[in-house]
Chains A and B, each alone.
Chain A
């Protein structure tokens, strides 16, 4: 009955077009920050209860409130991990992936409060704190991911300037072909500079170069600087192949700069997941060890 009336309302809304579609809301502000409110309320209740409940001799995971928070925390962790399964099945509606992601983010943040209170602010060099530390790494990397997803796509789009990745690669190949042809008449010394530029992998440089956008060993820049240095004081007669190579190298550098900004933004968007996901599994392993150890020796 309830379902029927709800779907009828949805139909009416669809016909009148009066219902605001949530499709343009991000997962952060999904449904009027519903999950932010739920997670905030959960944290607040946990915190107020922590203050009100007089656990003797002092708060820790072995008190009854500790058990409650620990159970909630462990179940939350397992549920949060399921996002990896859930995201592979995209659906709409109440339990849409967006709603799920929104809950993932905010409930994940509330875990900071729940786990800290579960621990009763006790830390040490042991498996229990290891699980806590891993959890904090996962949450902080996730927080970075949230900020990356909120901020970087715009920068990525601005930098791309309507170019697709295929087009970027094609423009690189095109400039390389032109450079190759233009460099044919050059003497070996100059030809070698150009060849190094051509032979260098524009996607190389390693992770640090990706994340920082710094490529100190860029052969294109070096080639351009060398040739520019030699041609600077020569009159430009318009027929010198070196001048042509020079301008091509300059164009290649501009394309490379754009590609590298693109790579950097994409790396920032992706790298956190390389921490978030494996450490999540480490966390689940440490959590298992934590739970087993507590009941093994207790």
Chain B
């Protein structure tokens, strides 16, 4: 027996080259060393790796002598016996040996099947030096990203919207359109954060007023204020602007012609179905958590700058002046003042505020500009100057009644604010005046019996009852009638007793005399009231009104101004009181309207950006429109951003000091 060993190799173009050699032996070796009959130039093969021995025809043994295995039909073995005629394939390192039988010889075809090194293997030079293959392809990842983004941020939100169209309230949870929210909702609307469709009802339709009214109308039912009045939308309706602001046609005429910016925005709005005049134009949302931001002054100035001329041009009669910025251009205040009493107007309407009536019922009211001193007849006589002096009889009496307090009277001794501190309550005779202006008629068991204020018939009846009961004149405590007040001291008191007795004795009918004296011009009633005698027992007291609010289109809060200690230019601080705005110390006429004018406010308040044309008396307070005005002016305080709201609520009653 012998072996025929065929070394196969291939040319570059794949042609096979065979080099055959015959070995006449029963036993040959396979290995890397060149002495081996089967020489494999292969570093994975041992110098003498294995032997092949012919035991009998058709039976050969291949055995490892190096301890390293070899491959036989895919398995790694150390020894194998097989029939070469049946053929077999052996694997040594990178070489493949095919066994076979040919006539009288056993053939071993040797072929290198792997490149001698990795670098020698076929490499695509175009790609091997690049990062291609190390990273996902650009095209694949681009398509992947596009699909991912569109699915997560477009398809899912639209699907969410479509699948919840019929829900009245969308359930809480993770919704696809959350990723569309451009910012947190304000505190009041925070509960809607999972329910985009509460406001964004229809696709590509900007939020409509109906969405606002869906909630807000119900909460104001009954009083018909606030947004309930904004429900005036719909075909033929005046529109939400009509609510307590101005008629729609005037509003339309008063808008300034659009500038460049507004025209640009108009193009977008027209192109994308975005009508004007909706609630959300001013009440902007998604501006971040916290209170909803205040409506900006620019929205007001859009119309109110140049408003007068535009309205006139459109044929409207309007007295509304132009306003751009409080520090720069603002019309003079026009308070609503009393313009005389008309009994016909008050017919059937209770006037007593205490009885829930309208204290101003029957009064004609008119707006008067504060360009010059304004008078309003309120039905009372009062001398502010006299009362505020600290060196006259009033002051002396005050000092006697309130020893050690002050040299004279102060505003707060008579004027009191309402519970919010915003405005002043009407001066109340019993509470604020009567401690000096006594209505006492006699002393009964140490108690001074008072004539009832506000009830002239009762006063007359009381006086008559007093005399018919046999009462002689016994001046008791503070005496009634001609001199409501007396100079201090016993001598003065005795003198008054004598004077009164003489006066009564000089006239027939003691009671009649006292009644007349009481209602006379210098009497205890006539001293403050205009009284007209209409018969022996009938006296008409002129109606009295003390308006609590003069500026109905704006809001003034006294609590924000009381006893201001403010920095003044040039350093230092100064305390401001009532007298800095109200010129009461110079007025001895109750008809003087002591409201300060625009210039007074402008000496401290500037526009929101600090603009002003006035001479400031202190560092300016930036003041936007919304500090005093409300678009939906409903009698309440204007809506002010939280940061401008006072931190703590003001005290119930403010202690105002005059000096």
Contacts and interface: CB of A to CB of B under 8 A. Distances in A.
Contact of B43 (A173, A194, A278, A294): A194
A165 B47 CA distance: 36
Interface in A81-129: 122, 124-128
Contact of A64 (B118, B130, B179, B264): B264
A122 B135 CA distance: 34
Interface in B32-58: 32-33, 41, 43-44, 46-47
Contact of A282 (B134, B149, B161, B177): B149
Nearest to A273: B138
A61 B44 CA distance: 69
B32 A64 contact: no
A45 interface: no
Contacts of A183: 43
A184 B43 contact: yes
A30 interface: no
Interface of A (DSSP majority class): helix
A218 B202 CA distance: 64
Given A53-B261, A67-B264, A180-B117, A297 B177 contact: yes
Contacts of A289: 149-150, 153-154, 157
A165 B129 contact: yes
A28 to B, nearest CB: 24
B296 A281 contact: no
Given A57-B287, A198-B116, A198-B118, A126 B179 contact: yes
Interface string B126-158: 001111001110100111111011100110011
B145 A279 contact: yes
A78 to B, nearest CB: 14
Interface string B574-608: 00000000000000000000000000000000000
Interface string A195-230: 100111111001100100000000000000000000
Contacts of B47: 187-188
Given A65-B261, A187-B47, A298-B207, A281 B154 contact: no
B204 A281 contact: no
Contacts of A186: 43
A203 B145 CA distance: 29
Contacts of A277: 138, 142
B43 A176 contact: no
A92 to B, nearest CB: 27
A201 B120 CA distance: 10
A122 B287 CA distance: 9
Nearest to A197: B117
Given A57-B296, A289-B149, A165 B204 contact: no
B25 to A, nearest CB: 23
Interface of B (DSSP majority class): loop
A157 B433 CA distance: 103
B299 interface: yes
Given A54-B298, A177-B120, A270-B130, A281 B177 contact: no
A57 B206 contact: no
B116 A64 contact: no
Interface in B249-308: 261-262, 264-265, 268, 272, 274, 284, 287, 293-299
B648 to A, nearest CB: 27
A271 interface: yes
Contacts of A124: 181-184
A247 interface: no
A285 interface: yes
B153 A278 contact: no
B149 A297 contact: no
B296 A298 contact: no
Interface in A260-298: 262-263, 266-267, 270-271, 273-274, 277-282, 284-286, 288-289, 292-298
Q: How many A residues touch the partner, as a band?
A: 35 or more
B131 A169 contact: no
Interface string A51-73: 00110111011011101100000
A166 interface: yes
A284 B131 CA distance: 25
A74 interface: no
A169 B119 contact: yes
Contacts of B119: 169, 172-173, 176, 198, 201-202
B125 interface: yes
B146 A176 contact: no
B196 interface: yes
Contact of A180 (B43, B138, B183, B196): B43
Interface string A178-193: 0111011111100110
Contacts of B68: 188
B329 interface: no
A122 B183 contact: yes
B265 A271 contact: no
B140 to A, nearest CB: 8
Contacts of B33: 185
Contacts of A206: 134
A130 interface: yes
B146 A281 contact: yes
Given A57-B296, A124-B182, A297-B180, A266 B129 contact: yes
B200 interface: yes
A63 B274 CA distance: 13
B262 to A, nearest CB: 7
B123 interface: yes
B9 to A, nearest CB: 14
Contacts of B299: 56
B117 A199 contact: yes
A54 B206 CA distance: 24
A192 B43 contact: yes
B118 A169 contact: no
Nearest to A287: B149
Contacts of B284: 57
B565 to A, nearest CB: 32
A128 to B, nearest CB: 6
A177 to B, nearest CB: 7
Contacts of A202: 118-119
A282 B141 CA distance: 9
Most buried by B among A63, A288, A292: A292
Contacts of B274: 298
B143 A281 contact: yes
Contacts of B130: 266, 270
Contacts of B128: 169, 203
A56 B298 contact: yes
Given A67-B265, A122-B183, A286-B153, A180 B131 contact: no
Nearest to A211: B131
Contact of A200 (B116, B118, B184): B118
B447 interface: no
B66 interface: yes
Nearest to A263: B129
Contacts of B178: 126
A121 to B, nearest CB: 12
A180 B117 CA distance: 8
B339 to A, nearest CB: 40
B118 A207 contact: no
Interface of A: 53-54, 56-58, 60-61, 63-65, 67-68, 122, 124-128, 130, 165-166, 169, 172-173, 176-177, 179-181, 183-188, 191-192, 194-195, 198-203, 206-207, 210, 262-263, 266-267, 270-271, 273-274, 277-282, 284-286, 288-289, 292-298
Given A177-B120, A282-B148, 14 more contacts: A65-B261, A67-B264, A124-B182, A124-B183, A177-B116, A180-B41, A198-B116, A207-B135, A278-B141, A278-B144, A279-B145, A285-B150, A294-B182, A298-B206
23 contacts: A54-B298, A60-B182, A64-B264, A124-B183, A125-B179, A130-B149, A130-B179, A176-B117, A177-B116, A183-B43, A194-B43, A203-B123, A203-B129, A270-B130, A271-B131, A278-B138, A280-B142, A281-B145, A288-B150, A293-B180, A296-B161, A297-B200, A298-B206
Which 5 residue pairs spanning A and B have beta carbons closest together? Answer: A282-B145, A64-B265, A198-B117, A176-B117, A56-B296
